[in-house]
């Protein structure tokens, strides 16, 4: 018995979406209460500023995450998340987060980096009618649909703390892990990050920063 | 998973790998002697893994063949010599290989042979979505299709056994979604590979002429007929999903489902959401289909309705309808549904399957449909207003200055001489010239069709219409040489620009026939299999192209390029301009590896000054994606409007910029000198000197 826990990662090529997907699936592989892991990612445009999407899906033992449905281990094989069924959405870019509204519903926690990456055709005069939507509009829609939305300029935070914006994705991962403590064991996640980036990687500090970022008292 | 671990013995170990890794692992476990490929999404990575694996192995050979036809034929050769072989390419490649594909099965195989072919129903990275299963109707080649990452590995092994049992090639059908999925796989036993094969002559079997071909054809058809009737094979590859509750309650058994491949996972997920548990027949061997066994499935569950869930064409549905209606093997009628609801285009999703199933089951989950419909209404309102992200050339790409200069030259010539230019495209990174800011592309059909179609059009269009054809080096060797020879033979009027970047770049920088050996040695240790490089320039010189009509240039000197275009485009006859410049991404990787060995290095930065007047030359004409905008903060208040020029400024994203490859194209095109170059010399991690340059 168990339930499926769905994570969606979205952003722009070069932000480390594929890497985060790998970290999350590797975590799922090692966490004893997760019985099966699948996932997928869009490919081909990651070098070229395109929209990128990755998924990680866990089949979780009902002991910690009980719901009414019974799944057999071998049945969790679809790598795609059905409509409305994401539990955690990590949006590394606002436009790409709202583009994947399909998966966001009242069961979803959205953690969004508000740092915007403008598509070429918005800057050029190519698409006069299609503007980059305002941050206010994006957050308003997410607030309406999602259970909870946490939005922050993670690039700014990463630059302030670590001098480089590239750590923004792992800080965001830390926030997500804290939000779903029942699924993410902090120490195991740190071990996985260590295995990906090395003993003394700043990514460990970045994860810890994200983990303690939000005050839950 | 790192590539070396993928090819360790470690039987019984559970690992998390992708579908493509699982295929490579399956090929390793099965003891395959030879594999060949022409790279193409979604299967490019399988070849890349095998290429690394083949290094320093005496008993395994991998070949990046010149095209899919050659790849397939090489594998036939290995199989006829008695050893196992696997050929892999994308769905479109099967069209190129279709000629031998229709004949060699008459002779059959000796060593097991698989044709591993990746479909792309969503057209995520192709020019069409053809359903290759329909090739089975022509060729009678049996098709197997895995549903999970575990099966991606297992079906390679089982498929080779099936191939050897019946002495026929086996087609492995897979779609991009499964290739790029990750799942847990239990590794299996690794077979040893036999190194040397032996070809036993048998003209009656291998020389397909007239009577011999006729008799081989009849034997082959008979073999396929026998395979279709084999009950054991049916149950080895196909699975009937028997929910625990079916046996006890028998509630919904008047409706059954047939499906295959990744669609099975959508069906299971939809059934779970709808709280229904119909019997599901998951086909792994989808051609030939054992009609008796399908009847047994329908009869055992006393089905009145059969639902077929598959992507693209109604392949399984048609066979099912034949079974139950025309042939009447089932001795009764059965209602069959599928493509009367499920679209024939695009990838399937669980949502579509839920909507399909709810029409045929008595389920109390109407709320689910309401939720979906409500959400789709919201999506319809919001999504169309969002700007899309068009793919473009990578930062530093050597194609950008070529299109920039070409556009300038073309604008001048059009104005001066009244020419109208037509741009013939082909398959490769240069296809991206269709997007902003270049928009120089009038057609893309298939590999080689740029010069091919120009061959006809150039002969009939008005004199002021001038054809410019784009083609890359790998595509030229693939199927571009034949139309090129045709054009030169007739001196047909066109200007062909060959983008010679030394690699098959769009699929991940694989080597091809013309890749210089010097680039493959040393620093990129994995690339050592090629023995000779084909010299493209010598080749062009020797196929009858006049010397004055063959122009060779680098990519980054834009003034020089513009002059070449201005001189060449108005000339008559077939002209070829070769742009010799290595793929920037691959070159950067090589240089980075070299630099690591050196102690001192130079770092270059480009910055846009705050006094930039936003003339837009760099962003609107050059279009480098390393240049972007950021909103200027005014005090605490942050403006949200990106449409007013005063509220944003341009900046160069240093993590995207490629100053070690690109000589500063943005600086070169900036008329007002607003882009500054800074060189910092570092020596053993110590800043020794820094120098600014305007």
Question: Which structural domain range is residue A80 located in?
Answer: 2-211
Is residue B207 a part of any domain in this protein? yes
- Chain B's closest residue to A80, CA to CA, is B349
User: CB under 8 Å to B674, separation ≥6 — which residues?
Assistant: B608, B609, B611, B612, B613
Q: Does B598 touch chain A (CB under 8 A)?
A: no
Is residue A62 a part of any domain in this protein? yes
User: In the 8-state DSSP scheme, what is residue B653?
Assistant: -
Is residue A177 a part of any domain in this protein? yes
Is residue A144 a part of any domain in this protein? yes
Please tell me the predicted confidence (pLDDT) of residue B328.
54
A50, A132, A166 ranked by CB distance to B387: nearest: A132
Tell me how crowded residue B383 is: count the other CB atoms within 10 A of its CB. Answer: 14
| Residue of B182, B244, B653 for testing the chain A interface, max A β-carbons within 10 Å | B182
Is residue A44 a part of any domain in this protein? yes
Please tell me the predicted confidence (pLDDT) of residue B356.
95
| B71: nearest Cα among B41, B106, B38 | B38
Size of interface A-B (CB pairs under 8 A): 166
| Residue of A46, A52, A83 for testing the chain B interface, max B β-carbons within 10 Å | A83
Q: What is the pLDDT of residues B429-441, one digit of tens each?
A: 999 999 888 899 9
Regarding predicted confidence, which is higher, B614 or A160?
Answer: A160
DSSP for B627-640 reads EEEEEPEETTEE--
Please tell me the predicted confidence (pLDDT) of residue B691.
47
Same domain for B321 and B444: no
Angle of CA points A60, A65, A66, to nearest 5°: 110
The ipTM assigned to this model is 0.92
Instruction: List, in sequence order, every beta strand (DSSP E) within B437-593.
Output: 465-472, 494-500, 550-553, 574-580
Are residues B183 and A77, on separate chains, in Cβ contact within 8 Å?
A: yes
Tell me how crowded residue B275 is: count the other CB atoms within 10 A of its CB. Answer: 13
* Domains contained in chain B, number: 4
Omega prior to B288 cis, within 30 of 0: yes
What CATH number does the domain containing A8 carry?
A: 3.40.920.10
B180, B378, B656 ranked by CB distance to A40: nearest: B180
**What residue ranges of chain B have pLDDT lower than 50?**
523-526, 686-692, 694
Same domain for B245 and B125: no
B177, B264, B375 ranked by CB distance to A79: nearest: B177
**pTM of the entire predicted model:** 0.94
Residues of A in contact with B629 (CB under 8 A): 118, 123
The first and second tokens of residue A123, run together, are: 């800057």
Is residue A110 a part of any domain in this protein? yes
Same domain for B254 and B221: no
pLDDT above 90 covers a percentage of chain A that reads 67
Shortest Cα distance from A29 to chain B (angstroms)?
7
Is residue A97 a part of any domain in this protein? yes
How many residues in chain B?
A: 694
Half-sphere exposure of A117 (CA within 13 A, CB side): 27
Residues of B in contact with A42 (CB under 8 A): 124, 180
Considering B558, B587, B616, which residue would you say is the last residue of a domain?
A: B587
Is residue A216 a part of any domain in this protein? no
Q: What is the pLDDT of residues A108-121, one digit of tens each?
A: 999 999 999 888 77
| Chain centroid offset of residue B355 CA | 31
Same domain for B556 and B463: yes
Residue whose pair of structure tokens reads 């064991």 in the numeric block: A185
Q: What is the pLDDT of residues B542-552, one digit of tens each?
A: 998 989 999 99
Please tell me the predicted confidence (pLDDT) of residue A75.
61
Considering B229, B250, B272, which residue would you say is the last residue of a domain?
A: B229
Same domain for B74 and B47: yes
Q: What is the pLDDT of residues A6-37, one digit of tens each?
A: 999 999 988 899 999 999 999 999 999 888 89
Residues of B in contact with A29 (CB under 8 A): 16, 184
What CATH number does the domain containing B323 carry?
A: 3.40.50.920
Residues of A in contact with B180 (CB under 8 A): 40-43
Are residues A49 and B625, on separate chains, in Cβ contact within 8 Å?
A: yes
Are residues A166 and B125, on separate chains, in Cβ contact within 8 Å?
A: no
> Residue-wise over B497-521: b if at least 16 C-beta within 10 A, else e?
bbbbbbbbbbbbbbbbbbbeeebbe
A41, A78, A119 ranked by CB distance to B269: nearest: A78
Is residue A167 a part of any domain in this protein? yes
Same domain for B244 and B219: no
Task: Write down the H helix ranges in B13-127.
Answer: 19-29, 44-54, 68-80, 93-96, 98-101, 104-107
Question: Which structural domain range is residue B79 located in?
Answer: 3-229
> Rounded to whole angstroms, how far apart are CA atoms B433 and B468?
13
Residues of A in contact with B636 (CB under 8 A): none
- Chain A's closest residue to B122, CA to CA, is A42
Is residue B151 a part of any domain in this protein? yes
Please tell me the predicted confidence (pLDDT) of residue B329.
56
Is residue B391 a part of any domain in this protein? no
Is residue B350 a part of any domain in this protein? yes
User: CB under 8 Å to B157, separation ≥6 — which residues?
Assistant: B26, B29, B30, B188
Half-sphere exposure of A65 (CA within 13 A, CB side): 19
Same domain for B492 and B422: yes
Please tell me the predicted confidence (pLDDT) of residue B232.
94
Same domain for B529 and B549: yes
Same domain for B548 and B608: no
Considering B183, B202, B229, which residue would you say is the last residue of a domain?
A: B229
Same domain for B466 and B424: yes
Same domain for B247 and B209: no
Q: Which residues pair with A112 in a beta bridge?
A: A91, A151
Taking phi first (over 0 means left), then psi (-120 to 50 degrees means alpha), and beta for anything else, what does residue B343 get? beta
* Domains contained in chain A, number: 1
Are residues B585 and A47, on separate chains, in Cβ contact within 8 Å?
A: yes
Same domain for B143 and B265: no
């Amino acid at each position: 018995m168990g339930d499926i826990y769905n994570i969606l990662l979205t952003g722009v090529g070069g932000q480390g979406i594929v890497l985060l997907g790998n970290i999350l699936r590797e975590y799922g592989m090692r966490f004893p209460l997760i019985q099966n892991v699948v996932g997928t990612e869009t490919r081909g445009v990651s070098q070229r500023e395109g929209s990128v999407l990755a998924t990680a899906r866990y089949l979780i033992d009902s002991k910690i995450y009980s719901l009414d449905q019974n799944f057999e281990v071998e049945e969790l094989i679809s790598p795609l998340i059905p409509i409305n069924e994401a539990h955690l959405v990590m949006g590394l870019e606002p436009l790409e987060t709202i583009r994947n509204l399909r998966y966001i519903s009242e069961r979803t926690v959205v953690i969004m980096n508000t740092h915007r990456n403008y598509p070429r055709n918005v800057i050029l005069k190519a698409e006069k009618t299609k503007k980059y939507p305002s941050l206010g509009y994006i957050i308003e829609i997410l607030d309406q649909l999602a259970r909870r939305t946490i939005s922050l300029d993670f690039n700014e935070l990463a630059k302030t703390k670590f001098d480089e914006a590239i750590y923004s994705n792992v800080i965001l991962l830390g926030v997500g892990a804290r939000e779903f403590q029942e699924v993410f064991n902090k120490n195991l996640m740190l071990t996985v990050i260590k295995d990906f980036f090395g003993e003394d990687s700043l990514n460990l500090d970045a994860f810890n920063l994200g983990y303690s970022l939000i005050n839950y008292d | 998973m790192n590539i070396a671990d993928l090819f360790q013995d470690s039987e019984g170990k559970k690992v998390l790998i992708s579908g493509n890794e699982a295929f490579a692992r399956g090929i390793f476990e099965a003891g395959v002697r030879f594999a060949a490929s022409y790279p193409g999404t979604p299967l490019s990575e399988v070849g890349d893994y095998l290429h690394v694996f083949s290094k320093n192995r005496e008993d395994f050979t991998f070949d990046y063949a010149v095209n899919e036809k050659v790849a397939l034929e090489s594998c036939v050769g290995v199989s006829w010599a008695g050893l196992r072989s696997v050929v892999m390419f994308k769905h479109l490649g099967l069209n190129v290989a279709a000629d031998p594909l229709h004949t060699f099965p008459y002779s059959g195989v000796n060593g097991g042979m698989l044709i591993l072919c990746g479909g792309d129903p969503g057209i995520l990275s192709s020019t069409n979505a053809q359903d290759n299963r329909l090739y089975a109707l022509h060729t009678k080649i049996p098709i197997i299709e895995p549903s999970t990452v575990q099966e991606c590995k297992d079906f390679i092994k089982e498929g080779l056994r099936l191939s050897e049992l019946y002495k026929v090639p086996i087609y492995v059908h897979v779609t991009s979604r499964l290739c790029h999925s990750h799942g847990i796989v239990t590794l299996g036993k690794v077979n040893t590979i036999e190194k040397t094969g032996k070809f036993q002559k048998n003209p009656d079997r291998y020389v397909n002429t007239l009577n011999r071909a006729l008799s081989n054809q009849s034997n082959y058809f008979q073999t396929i007929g026998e395979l279709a009737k084999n009950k054991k094979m049916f149950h080895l590859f196909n699975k009937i999903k028997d929910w625990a509750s079916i046996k006890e309650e028998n509630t919904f058994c008047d409706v059954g489902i047939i499906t295959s491949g990744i669609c099975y996972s959508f069906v299971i997920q939809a059934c779970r959401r709808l709280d229904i548990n119909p019997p599901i027949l998951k086909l792994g061997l989808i051609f030939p289909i054992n009609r008796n066994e399908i009847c047994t499935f329908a009869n055992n569950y006393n089905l009145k309705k059969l639902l077929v869930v598959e992507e693209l064409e109604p392949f399984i549905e048609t066979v099912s309808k034949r079974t139950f209606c025309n042939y009447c093997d089932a001795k009764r009628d059965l209602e069959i549904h599928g493509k009367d609801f499920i679209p024939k285009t695009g990838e399937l999703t669980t949502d579509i399957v839920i909507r399909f199933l709810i029409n045929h089951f008595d389920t109390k989950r109407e709320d689910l449909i309401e939720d979906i419909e409500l959400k789709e209404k919201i999506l319809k309102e919001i999504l169309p207003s969002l700007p899309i992200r068009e793919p473009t050339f990578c930062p530093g790409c050597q194609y950008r200055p070529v299109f920039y200069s070409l556009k300038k030259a073309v604008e001048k010539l059009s104005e001066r001489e009244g020419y109208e230019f037509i741009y013939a495209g082909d398959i490769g990174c240069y296809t991206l010239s269709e997007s902003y800011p270049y928009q120089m592309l009038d057609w893309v059909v298939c590999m080689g069709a740029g010069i091919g179609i120009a061959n006809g059009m150039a002969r009939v269009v008005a004199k002021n219409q001038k054809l410019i054809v784009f083609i890359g080096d790998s595509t030229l060797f693939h199927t571009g040489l034949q139309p090129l020879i045709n054009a030169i033979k007739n001196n047909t009027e066109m200007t062909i620009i060959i983008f010679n970047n030394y690699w098959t770049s769009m699929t991940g920088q694989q080597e091809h026939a013309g890749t210089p050996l010097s680039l493959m040695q040393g620093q990129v240790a994995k690339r050592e299999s090629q023995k000779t490089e084909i010299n493209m320039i010598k080749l062009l010189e020797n196929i009858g192209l006049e010397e004055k009509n063959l122009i060779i240039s680098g990519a980054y000197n834009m003034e020089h390029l513009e002059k070449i275009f201005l001189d060449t485009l108005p000339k008559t006859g077939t002209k070829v301009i070769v742009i010799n410049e290595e793929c920037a991404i691959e070159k950067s990787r090589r240089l980075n590896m070299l630099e690591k060995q050196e102690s001192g290095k130079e770092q270059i930065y480009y910055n846009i000054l705050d006094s930039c007047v936003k003339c837009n030359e760099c962003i609107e004409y050059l279009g480098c994606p390393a240049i972007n905008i950021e909103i200027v903060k005014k005090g605490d208040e942050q403006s949200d409007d990106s449409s007013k020029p005063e509220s944003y400024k341009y900046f160069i994203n240093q993590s995207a910029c490629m100053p070690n490859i690109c000589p500063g194209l943005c600086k070169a095109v900036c008329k007002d000198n607003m882009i500054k170059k800074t060189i910092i010399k570092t020596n053993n991690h110590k800043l020794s000197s820094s120098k600014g340059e305007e």
